[in-house]
Amino acid sequence: MGLKYNDAQRKEYLSMTHRIGEKWLDVFQGNEEFYSAAFWDLLTRIWKSGGPVRKTDALKFMTAIKSAHTAGKYVQSAIERGVLVEADNPEDARSKLVMLSVDMRQRLDGFFDAAVSEVRKTNRTLDRTGPLPEEP
């Protein structure tokens, strides 16, 4: 398997992921508790859903967490800190719904705008940093 990119391009990719990681941390005003793959999976998948999700589904969003009990601790922590809001499920009284708080939805919208800007900026830099492989 031939490699497609040079070291300068790979380093630029790493720099981009670092910058995006810093922006993720800014979403939580420096609270490093939320700088984890579990919260990334949970919050981005809830954001992507566009609305409330069943709490049991939210637990499954954290793919690296195999224990429902442990996943529940992450969800509960996000609820306690105002990141998520829990509500009764009007379609099933046995389940609960969770959704992003209005404030968190706005913060994540801003984060994604900044992240996409970083990707676009990095793409331009990659174009200048060396030969580009032909795309498949």
Enumerate the domain spans of the chain: 8-129
User: Is the domain defined by 8-129 classed in CATH 3.40.50.720?
Assistant: no
Q: Quick one: 80 exposed, middle or buried, by C-beta within 10 A (0-12, 13-18, 19+)? A: exposed
Q: How many CB atoms lie within 10 A of CB 131?
A: 8
Q: How much of the chain exceeds pLDDT 90, in percent?
A: 81
> Residue 34 in 3-state DSSP?
helix
For residue 1, pLDDT beyond 70: no
* 49-89 per-position pLDDT tens digit: 999 999 999 999 999 999 999 999 999 999 999 999 999 99
pTM of the model: 0.88
